[in-house]
Every structure is written in C-alpha cells, then in structure tokens.
Amino acid sequence: MAAAAIAATVALPLLVVLASWREPAGDVWTHLWRTQLLELIANTLLLAAGVGAGTLVLGAGLAWLVAAFEFPGRRVFEWALVLPLAMPAYVIGFAFLALFDFAGPVQSALRRLAGPDVRLPELRSGWGVMLMMTLVFYPYVYVLARVAFREHGGAALEVARSLGHSPARAFAAVILPLARPSLAAGVALAVMEALADFGTVSTFGYRTLTEAVYRVWTGMFDRVAATQVASVLLMLVLGVLLLERALRGRRRFTGGDRRGGFPRIPLHGRRAAGAAAACAGVLSLAFVLPVLELVMWALHLGPEERASRGFADLVASTFLLAAASALLVCVLAVVLAYARRLRPSRTATAAAQFSSLGYALPGAVIAVGVLAPVAWLDGVLAAAAEWMLGRRLGLVLTGSAAAVLFAYAVRFLAVGYQTTEAALGRIPPSLDEAARSLGVTMRVALRRVHMPLMRGGIVSALTLIWVETIKELPATLLLRPFGIKTLAIEVWERTSESLWAEAALPALAIVAVGLVPLLVVTRLDGGRR
C-alpha cells in the first residue's frame, strides 16, 4: 500500500508531462514549432551524440590505460581520474569561458605573443558545450569500464595474447565486446546527464530542449507550452533508456574471473611518458585547472566580500534545503524498500522500478510536471480553507519548499532506493522471521533490527542525496521558494552576468561538497580490497 502510494506520487509528474498533449497547443507552442523546435531537437540530439561519443572514447580509453598498463603515476591517476565527477558541468563551463574569453588570460597572452589578430575558435558553441560535458561526464564511462576491464578482461586478454594477438588487437577483438554492457550503461548515464543539463547550455547560449523549457516558462509564462517542450525532451530520454537496454543485449557476462585482475603490461620510455601525459592532461583540463582558477578568483575577492554574511547565509540555506531533501527521500526510500521486502508482490516491484525512472528525468521536466499537481492541491486547499475558515488562503504550496522537495523526491528517489535496498538486501530474511517468532511485529522489527543494520546504507544514501541536491540546478531554479537561493543558483546567476569572480566561491563550495561521496566511495573501495 505505502509502496504503491509513493510510486504513484512520484510517477505523477511524469504522467502530467505525458498528458500535456491533451491540452490544446497554445500560440507559444505554434510559434515555437514554426520557428525553433526542429532546431532545438537537432541541437539536443547533436549534443547527446557528441557527448556520448566523447565520453565513450575518453572514458574507455583512459580506463584501458590504467587497467592494462603500468606507468609512472598509474596508481594516483586510477582514482584521481574520477574527480571531475565532483565538478558540475556549469562550473567547469564558466571556468573555461572565463579562461578562454576574449579578454581572458589565454587569449590575451596569445595576442601578446602572436599579434592582435589571433583568435581561438569560439567556445560558446555546440562544440564547446560538448567539450565541457565530455570532460566532466567521462568518469561515468571510465568507472564502469575500468571495473569491466579488470574483472572480465584478465582471462580473455591472456587467451587472446596466447593466440597471437597484440594487446591492442586483443582489446579491440575481445575486451571491448566483453565490456559492451558496461560501456553502454556508462555512456547512457553520461548522455542522460547531458540531456538534463541546464546550466552549461544556458551560459554557453546553446539552445536545447532543456533550456527551452526554462525559457518558455520564465520568459513567456506559458506553462502548457513548457510542459509540451518537456514532453519532447522526455521522449528523447526514454529513447536513450531503450537504446541502452538494446545495446546491453541479452548476453550476460557475469562471473568472469574474480582473481582480482591480471598483471599490467609495463610501459617504458616514451610510451610511459605518453600514457602519463594523457592522464595528466585530461585530469588537469577537467579538474585541476578549473579548480585552481576558482581558487585564484576566490582569493582575489576582497576579504569583506569573502566573509560577507551573504555567503554564509547561502551555504546555510543550501545545506538546510539539501538536508530536508535527503531526509525526505531517505524516508520514502526506506519505506519503499521495506514494503517490497515484506511483500515482494508484482505491484511493489513495479512501484520500485517505476520510481527509479525519476533519476533519468531532467530536472526541468520534473519541475514542470510537479507544478501542475502542486497547483491543483493548492486550489483544493484554498477551497477547503475558504469553506472551513471562511477566508482566502492564497497559494500555500506553490512557491514553498514543498514543491521543490517534491521535485527532489522524484529526481533522487532512485538514488536513495538503490542504496537502501542494497543495504536491506544484505540482511538475511531469517532475521525477519526470528524477530517475528520472538513476538515482534514487522513495524517494530524495522526499528529494532533493520534500521540499525542498515545504518551504513542509510548514511551513504543521505550523503549522496544531500550532495546531489546541492548540485541540482534546473528544478531548484524553477521551483525554489521565494527569497531562497542555493549555491547552484548563485553560481548560475553570477555566470549569466559574467561575474566570474563572484561565482568562484560558491562554485568551489559545490565542488568541495561533490568530492565527499567520491572520497567516501574510493575509501570504501580500498577497504574492501
């Protein structure tokens, strides 16, 4: 029951977006259709394809380097190459814009060296956006590919080499096909992120569907048209999901050899230097350089600006909102997972799968989907209040934290569910039965047995959701309560005004927060080995 209710609530925005076509297309839509929609779709598809290809090459390539070869710095690079994941695309985006701006340090230096007419290709373009996203989303592919290469590739590589293949040919003929499901999953994640991104495309002025949802909503105040644009985006996302399913194929490469990998091939001389340089280059472009730049700017800021109450308030309200989100999502996730454990019915399983779809939905889509039910509920509340209290109440929920928390619940329930479900799954079912045979109801058993045993999983779910909420931009931007600002919104607003230096400190804060789960995860990884 509880599971079905949660799933239905979480699925509501999705259904709202899909049902938007029942309303007649308005003028704005017709206008959009005639002028921009095809361009928007083409741009979005191009972006998805570019980021998919870019992350595949970069992610799989780097993963193969650190998985199969030994070269100076390999151990450090192996975990450090995950770091760009902490960097939201809109942060690296503005760091690069500032760096390569016409008035920025790179172009100024170039002009001084090579004359006043030297120009770099314009970064504010489709290629620029693709480059930015590839740099920060490749770790999705990298992480999964590295595991696949290490766990399944060992025996295959040895067999292939014993049959006379060079490492490079073995990679192409055996290892890559073996890793295909992992690669497909990683690329799908990266493409989802690209489709969901709002901050980068808007600062780069690259017109995509996500950005159009925001523009139609806030610029033209047409909710219906915004929802209809969102539904087109939704179709693309579902297409990516289906494509990933198809690419994953029916083959299951489970098992493999769990010997803990295979001996790495040592590289020497120029080859070793090349491998190290490739890793170092990507890492510095995607992480070190932008972070250094942010630090410089933050330091350049006057002390009074740095210590201003504004920043402290910003951090406080962001953290508080994220904490509320984490708590809410975690409670929902635990209820959902526990309900499914108690009664593994088809309904509960379907509910769990359905609610996990939210993570694939772009924040902008969720935002427009959330608004309609919340506004309707507001109407009901207002009517009830007028009937019972005899006075008008106004809109209580719309523009309150409730709406944005609803959106977070839709977007992040999957994160919470997967983490808590995994923790719950490690508890043997006989403990449930033991508790019941000792006279304890399942409700009490959740408190006395399961929750204490799930503590680790709950803490990591809370952390993950907290961090994801802090990084979230589009849904927050569209649904935030009046007068509340988050770090992400501050970064976006400052960068849209090209106030790079003022965006640096909040951006650094976001990156620092984003590092937390990465460090936790790598530490857990190390502990297990």
Partner 1 sequence: MSVLELAAVTRVYRRGQPPAVDAVSLAVARGEILALLGPSGSGKSTLLRLIAGFELPDAGSVAIDGRVVADPTFTIPPERRGVGIVFQDYALFPHLTVEANVAFGLHGLARSRRHERVASFLELVGLPALAERYPHELSGGQQQLVALARALAPAPAVLLLDEPFSNLDADLRGQMREDVEKILRETETTVVFVTHGQDEAFGIADRVGVLAHGRLEQLDTPETIYHRPATPFVAEFVGAATFVAGEVRGAHVVTDVGAFPANGAAPPGAQVDVMIRPDDVTFVPAADGDAVVVHRDFRGTETMYCLSLPGGRRLYSSQPSWATTAVGDRVRLEIHLEHVVTFPRR
The residue ranges that bind partner 1 (CB under 8 A) are 428, 430-431, 433-441, 448-449, 452-453
Phi, psi of 455 (to 5 degrees): -50, -45
- 260 versus 452: smaller Cβ distance to partner 1: 452
**What is the rounded CA–CA span in Å between residue 470 and residue 110?**
37
Nearer to partner 1, 112 or 436 (CB): 436
Q: Which is nearer to partner 1, 327 or 449 (CB)?
A: 449
Q: Which is nearer to partner 1, 116 or 452 (CB)?
A: 452
**Do the Cβ atoms of 14 and 369 come closer than 8 Å?**
yes
**What minimum distance in Å lies between the beta carbon of 528 and partner 1?**
17
Give yes or no for a contact between 82 and 518, defined as CB atoms under 8 angstroms apart.
yes
Closest to partner 1 by CB, 42 or 434: 434
Residue with tokens 């976006």: 492
Torsion on CA atoms 39, 42, 48, 51, rounded to nearest 10: -80
Which residue lies nearer to partner 1 by CB, 409 or 458? 458
Distances (CA, A) of 248 to 146, 153, 178, 179, 186: 17, 17, 11, 10, 11
Nearer to partner 1, 433 or 525 (CB): 433
Q: Residue 28 CB, nearest distance to partner 1 (Å)?
A: 56
What is the C-alpha separation between 234 and 361, in angstroms, rounded? 7
| Beta carbon of residue 456, minimum distance to partner 1 (angstroms, whole number) | 11
Q: Which helix (H) or strand (E) holds 265?
A: strand 265-266
Q: At its nearest, how many Å lie between partner 1 and the CB of residue 148?
A: 32
**Residue number with CB closer to partner 1 (390 or 439):** 439
User: Hey, is 152 helix, strand or coil?
Assistant: helix
Q: CA-CA distances (angstroms) from residue 369 to 28, 403, 406?
A: 18, 11, 10
| 3-class DSSP assignment, residue 69 | strand
Min dist. Cβ of residue 424 to partner 1 (A): 14
Nearer to partner 1, 225 or 454 (CB): 454
- State in angstroms the smallest separation of the CB of 423 from partner 1: 13
CB closer to partner 1, 19 vs 434 = 434
The minimum distance between CB 457 and partner 1, in angstroms, equals 13
Residue 356: CB minimum distance to partner 1, A? 28
Q: How many helices (H) and strands (E) does the chain have?
A: 27, 2
DSSP 275-290: HHHHHHHHHIIIIIHH
CB 212 within 8 A of CB 490: no
Structure tokens at 215: 């523009």
3-class DSSP state of 266: strand
Q: Closest distance between partner 1 and the C-beta of residue 429, in Å?
A: 9
Shortest reach from residue 430's CB to partner 1, in Å:
4
In terms of phi and psi (left: phi > 0; alpha: psi -120 to 50; beta: otherwise), the region of 256 is left
Which tokens hold the place of 3? 């599971």
Contact between 179 and 61 (Cβ < 8 Å) = no
E runs forming strands in 58-157: 69-70
Q: Which residue lies nearer to partner 1 by CB, 115 or 429?
A: 429
Dihedral of CA 90/91/93/98: which sign? positive
**Alpha-carbon gap, residue 525 to 63, rounded angstroms:** 17
Query: Please, which residue, 30 or 349, has the CB nearer to partner 1?
Result: 349
C-beta of 426: minimal distance to partner 1 in Å? Answer: 10
What is the closest distance, in whole angstroms, from the C-beta atom of residue 440 to partner 1 in the complex?
A: 6
Structure-block tokens of residue 334: 């635990």
Instruction: Report the SS3 class of residue 98.
Output: helix
Amino acid of residue 113? L
